[in-house]
Structure 1
Amino acid sequence: MNTEDKRPKRAGRDLSSLRGTASGGVHLPGDEEYDRARTTWALAVDLRPAAVAFPADAAEVAAVVRAAAAAGLRVAPLGTGHNAHPLGDLSGSVLTRMSGMTGIEIDAGARRARAEAGVLWSAVVDAAAAYGLAALHGSSPDAGVVGYSLGGGVSWYGRSLGLASNSVTAVELVTADGSPTRVDAEHEPELFWAVRGGGGANFGVVTAIEFTLYPIETAYAGMLVWDLRDAHRVLSRWARWAADAPDAVTTSYRHLEYPPIPEIPEPFRGRRLVVVDGAVLADDAEAERILAPLRELGPETDTFGRVPAASLMRLHLDPERPTPGGGRSSLLDELPPAAVDRLIEVAGADSGNSLFMKAELRQLGGALGRSQPGAGATARLDGRFQLITGGMMVGELAERTVADCERVVTAMAPYSRGRQYLNFQEEPVDPSTGYDAPTWEELLRIRKAVDPGGLFQANHEIPHL
C-alpha cells in the first residue's frame, strides 16, 4: 500500500537550496557523484531520487528536512539499504543517507549503548564485547543498527530475550517540522511506541537510538551441515524439534548452493547443502542435551561449541559487501509433515530452482512470540517460523529468481495466515499485514498526527491520509 505523493513533480523545482545542507555532500541528477550516491547495499535496486544528501549530524539532518520541505520534496531516510527494494519512486524525494553518522557510546555500568543512524552492527558488537556485553544483533555484520532494530530485529538470542525493538530505550529523530526530538517511555511515549516496530522512517529521520546490552560473553553456537540430498530427513527432525525446543536455543534451517570459487571454504565449495546454525544460551552440558536430536542425524560437519559471543556476528556467513540479491518471505504457523514434504518439493535437490537460490526457515516462538510489558508496536512475531527465499537479481537471472522465490512462498501459503514480518519483505506489500488491527489503527493515527503532510517516505509506508 503506497501513499499518494500529491506534491508537484520535480520539473521546474529549484533544488539549489539543498546545496550546503549536508557536509557529506548533496548530489543531484547530472552530478558526477550522483550514481555512486544513489547506490545502496542492495545493488539490484535502481533508485533515482530527486537528490541524495549525506548529513553528518542531527543538525544537518534537520537542515535537509527543512530544505526538502521548502522545495516541495519528500524525505526518504536510508541506512545501508538492505531493504531498499520496496522504496519505489523517489523522483520527488531526497534520499537521506545516514552513513556519515557513526558515533557509538557504551555505558557498561548501565548496560546500554547509543548508536548513531549510520552505525553497522559489527561495530556495536565489537565495542560491547570489550565490556563482556552483547547486543541483540542480527545475522548480517553490515546491516544498520537503526533499521534492523526499529523494524523488529530477530537475533541469535531472540527466543530467550525477544525482539531487538523491545530492547530499545530511547530514539532520537528529526520530525516533519525540522525539530530534533528525543523520545522514550517518559517523553512522547506514543511516538516512542510507534517507532519501535513501526519503522522510524514513517515518523521522522532517526539520528540515533539507545538500547539495552546483555551480560553475554560466550554462547554455545555453530552449525551442522549435511548434503542437500539429506534435506527431507533433516527438515522432518528439525521441524519437530524446533516446535518444542526450549527458549534457550535459536536456530535457522537453510538450503544453500555455493559456487565453485576459491573464496568459498573447501568443504562447501561447489556444494548443495543443508545447514542448521544457531546459538544456545546455556552451559555446555545443557546445550549438548538440547542439540542431541539433531546430532543424531550424523552431520558431516559439526562446529557447535563454546565460542565468544562476538563471533555470532558472522555465524550465518551473510555477505559483508553490497549484493545484487533479493527475494520473498512469509511467516508460517506450523510445519506439519505435509509442509515439510511441500518445501522439499519446491526447494529441495530435485526442485529445479535457479542456481544459488536459498531457502531458509528461522525458528521463532519463545520470547519472540510473547508480548513484553512496555513493548513497541511490534511486540512479538505472530508465527512459529519465518520463511525466507532469495537469490541473485542480475540481468535475466532476476526474473527467474523472483519466479522461483514466489513459487516457494506460494507453495507454503497454506501454512501461513498472511501475516508479514516487514524487515524481511523485499517487495512492496500491504504494510497492515505486519500488525494486528488495533496496532495498525494506532499507527495510522500517530503517523497522521506527527507527519500530516506525508513528508517522510519509508520502504513499508504507513499511510498518512
Structure 2
Amino acid sequence: MIPPTASTPTASAAGLAGLRRLCGGAVYLPGDPQYDDARRPWNTRADDHPAAVAYPAFPDEVADLVRAVAAAGLRIAPQGTGHGAPPLSGQLGDAVLLRTSAMTEVQVDAATRTARVGAGVLWGDVISRAGAARLASRHMSSPSVGVVGSSLGGGLNWYGRAHGLQCSAVTAVEVVLADGSFVRATDEQNSDLLWAARGGGGGFGVVTAIEFDLIPVATSYAGMFVWDWHHADEVGNVWARWALDAPDAVTSIMRLIEAPDLPWLPDAVRGRSVVAIDAAVLADVRTATELLAPLRALGPDLDTFELRPAASLARLHLEPEEPMSAHAASTLVAELPTDAVHALVAAAGPGSGTRLLSVEARQLGGAMGRPAPRGGALDRIDGEFLVLTLGTDGRPGGWAGQREDADRVREAIQPWGSGSLYLSMLDDRVDERRAVPGGSWERLAAIRAAADPDRLFVLPHSASR
C-alpha cells in the first residue's frame, strides 16, 4: 500500500460512510455538526481536516476501526491531547484521526508502586491518584498533557535527573497493530514492541493502555525564583555553572519570559519581562536550602521555594492548561559555558526585541544522560541542557516574526549543540533519526516495518520514513 498523498485517490464516500457504525457512533465526517470540535487539537495552531475523526472507547473498537480504515484505503493517526499536533499538518487529508480521549482507565497500586492507565488519561489524573498513595509519577510539567503520548516520546520530568525518563519506567503496553490484532508487550512477550514504546514515538500501532512504575516520593522542596530580566546574564551564568555541579536530586529550568498580564500569574511575574528558575529538589529542607543557596544569594524578587506535596509540582512551571495556539522549537546542547549563556541572552533577552513568549534551558544529565537499566529506543538524552523556544498567538510580529526569533535563538546556541533532537518539544517536521541514540534507529525502523508493513499509521515526524 502506497501512503495516500494529495495526488492519490481518496476513499469512496461509501467507505467513509461505513465508518459511522463504529465506535458506538462516535465517528465524525466533514460536514457533521461535531466535526470541527472533534478535529481540533489542544494546540489550535494545527488546522487539519482529516477524512474522519473517531473516538473509540475500548480496544475492540480500536481494532474494528483499524481494520475498516485499512479496507477503505485510508491511513490512521492516533492522537491523545494534540499538544504536539503541528508536525502532522498536511498529512491528514486521507487519514482518520483516532482520538483516544474516551479511554480513561486509571489504576494506581500502592503496594507494587505501579500505575495502569488508558490511552486518553492526562497526567493530572495520575498525579492526584499517586499523590494520595504518597507516590509520584515521572510526569510532565503540565497536568493537561497525555500520559501515553508523552511516555512514547521520552518523558522529561521533575524527577528525571534522579529517576530517569518516563519512557524507561514503562513496564507494559497494550497495542492494536495494523492488522487489527491486539497484543500485550512486556519484557517477556512481544519485547520488541515494548522496546520501541520506550521513547520510540509510536508508529507501530495504537497503544490502548500503558503500565509503568511510580516512585516513592511524597514531598519535594520546590518552587520558583524570579528576577527582572536585566539580570539574565548574571543569573544565567551562575545557574549554568551551578547546574553542572548539582547532585542528581536536583532538576531545574531557567527561563526568559515575556509574561502576559493574566490574573492567574503571580504578581511578580504578571506583565513583566523576567528571568526565572524553577527547581525541584529531592532532599530535606536543610539540605535543599544549602543546595539552592548560590541562587538565592542573587536576591530574587520572588522566592516560592518550600517543602511541597509531590502532586503540587504539576503546576510549578505555570504552563497554560487550556487549548491554545503555540509553536515549540528546541535543540539539545552539550554545555552552556559563559559564551553560550551570553549568546542565549543576546538572542532572547533584554534589547533583543524578541517576540517569543519564552525561551528556556532545561537541566538534563543525571539519570537522563546515562543508559537506562531497562532498554528502549530512547534510553538517555544526548545533551546536558535542552533549549526550548515558545511562541503563541497574538504576539507582536505574528507567527512569521516568532519563527524568525526562534531560528535566531537556535542559530545562536548551535555552536554548543549536541547534534541530537528531542521530538516531544519540537513542532517542526525533522529527520527523526537524530532523536534516538547510536544504532537504535535501525532496530526501531525494523520493528515498525514488521508491525506496520503497509505504513498504515501516520507519524508526525516522518521526514525520514
Which bin holds the TM-score, normalised by the shorter protein? over 0.9
Distance change (3 Å), C-alpha of 1:462 and 1:430 = closer
What is the match of residue 413 of structure 1? 414
Residue identity matched to 1:456? F
- Report the alpha carbon displacement of residue 216 of structure 1 after superposing the two structures with TM: 0.7
Counterparts of 1:62 and 1:440 in 2: how far apart (Å)? Answer: 28
What is the match of residue 113 of structure 1? 115
1:212 matched to 2:208? The reply is no
Counterparts of 1:24 and 1:314 in 2: how far apart (Å)? Answer: 36
- Report the alpha carbon displacement of residue 417 of structure 1 after superposing the two structures with TM: 3.0
- Report the alpha carbon displacement of residue 283 of structure 1 after superposing the two structures with TM: 1.2
CA contact (8 A) 1:27 1:33 kept: yes
CA contact (8 A) 1:447 1:463 kept: no
Distance change (3 Å), C-alpha of 1:422 and 1:447 = same
CA contact (8 A) 1:173 1:204 kept: yes
Deviation string for 1:390-414 (max 9, x for gaps)? 1114596111111111111111111
- Report the alpha carbon displacement of residue 445 of structure 1 after superposing the two structures with TM: 1.0
What is the match of residue 73 of structure 2? 72
Deviation string for 1:24-64 (max 9, x for gaps)? 61111111111111100001111111110011111111111
What is the match of residue 427 of structure 2? 426
CA contact (8 A) 1:393 1:401 kept: no
- Report the alpha carbon displacement of residue 357 of structure 1 after superposing the two structures with TM: 2.1
Q: Residues 169-184 of structure 1 correspond to what in structure 2 (within 5 A)?
A: 169-184=171-186
- Report the alpha carbon displacement of residue 258 of structure 1 after superposing the two structures with TM: 1.7
What is the match of residue 385 of structure 2? 385
Deviation string for 1:74-132 (max 9, x for gaps)? 11000001111101320111000001111101111111000100000000000111111
Counterparts of 1:332 and 1:299 in 2: how far apart (Å)? Answer: 27
| SS of 1:223 mapped into structure 2 | strand
Residue identity matched to 2:171? T
Q: Which sits farther off after the overlay, 19-28 or 170-179?
A: 19-28
Counterparts of 1:262 and 1:158 in 2: how far apart (Å)? Answer: 31
CA contact (8 A) 1:444 1:462 kept: no
Counterparts of 1:260 and 1:309 in 2: how far apart (Å)? Answer: 28
What is the match of residue 198 of structure 1? 200
- Report the alpha carbon displacement of residue 267 of structure 1 after superposing the two structures with TM: 2.2
Q: Residues 107-146 of structure 1 correspond to what in structure 2 (within 5 A)?
A: 107-146=109-148
- Report the alpha carbon displacement of residue 264 of structure 1 after superposing the two structures with TM: 3.2
What is the match of residue 362 of structure 1? 362
CA contact (8 A) 1:232 1:341 kept: yes
2:100 counterpart (93, 98, 106): 98
- Report the alpha carbon displacement of residue 5 of structure 1 after superposing the two structures with TM: 3.8
What is the match of residue 224 of structure 1? 225
Residue identity matched to 1:327? A
Q: Which sits farther off after the overlay, 362-371 or 84-93?
A: 84-93
CA contact (8 A) 2:192 2:447 kept: yes
CA contact (8 A) 1:22 1:56 kept: yes
Residue identity matched to 1:360? E
Distance change (3 Å), C-alpha of 1:189 and 1:367 = same
- Report the alpha carbon displacement of residue 418 of structure 1 after superposing the two structures with TM: 2.2
| SS of 2:199 mapped into structure 1 | helix
What is the match of residue 314 of structure 2? 313
Counterparts of 2:25 and 2:168 in 1: how far apart (Å)? Answer: 32
CA contact (8 A) 1:114 1:209 kept: yes
Q: How many residues align?
A: 460
| SS of 2:406 mapped into structure 1 | helix
Q: Which runs of 5+ in 2 are unaligned?
A: none
Counterparts of 1:424 and 1:436 in 2: how far apart (Å)? Answer: 17
What is the match of residue 375 of structure 1? 375
Deviation string for 1:107-160 (max 9, x for gaps)? 111110001000000000001111111100010110000011111101110000
CA contact (8 A) 2:123 2:143 kept: yes
CA contact (8 A) 1:166 1:375 kept: yes
What is the match of residue 187 of structure 2? 185
CA contact (8 A) 1:324 1:394 kept: no
Q: Which sits farther off after the overlay, 256-265 or 92-101?
A: 256-265
Residue identity matched to 1:120? L
- Report the alpha carbon displacement of residue 10 of structure 1 after superposing the two structures with TM: 1.6
* TM-score (normalizing by structure 1): 0.96
- Report the alpha carbon displacement of residue 192 of structure 1 after superposing the two structures with TM: 0.9
Counterparts of 1:177 and 1:373 in 2: how far apart (Å)? Answer: 32
Distance change (3 Å), C-alpha of 1:95 and 1:127 = same
Counterparts of 1:325 and 1:344 in 2: how far apart (Å)? Answer: 22
| SS of 1:197 mapped into structure 2 | coil
Counterparts of 1:391 and 1:199 in 2: how far apart (Å)? Answer: 24
Distance change (3 Å), C-alpha of 1:269 and 1:372 = closer
What is the match of residue 50 of structure 2? 49
Counterparts of 2:303 and 2:343 in 1: how far apart (Å)? Answer: 27
Residue identity matched to 1:461? S
1:304 matched to 2:271? The reply is no
Q: Which sits farther off after the overlay, 390-399 or 124-133?
A: 390-399
Q: Residues 153-302 of structure 1 correspond to what in structure 2 (within 5 A)?
A: 153-200=155-202, 202-302=203-303
Distance change (3 Å), C-alpha of 1:262 and 1:309 = closer
* TM-score (normalizing by structure 2): 0.96
What is the match of residue 345 of structure 1? 346
Deviation string for 1:279-299 (max 9, x for gaps)? 001111111111111111111
Counterparts of 1:38 and 1:121 in 2: how far apart (Å)? Answer: 22
Deviation string for 1:306-342 (max 9, x for gaps)? 1100000100011111011112110000011110111
Counterparts of 2:159 and 2:266 in 1: how far apart (Å)? Answer: 27
- Report the alpha carbon displacement of residue 4 of structure 1 after superposing the two structures with TM: 5.1
Counterparts of 2:454 and 2:47 in 1: how far apart (Å)? Answer: 26
CA contact (8 A) 1:333 1:415 kept: yes
Q: Which sits farther off after the overlay, 17-26 or 68-77?
A: 17-26
Distance change (3 Å), C-alpha of 1:452 and 1:150 = same
Counterparts of 1:261 and 1:242 in 2: how far apart (Å)? Answer: 30
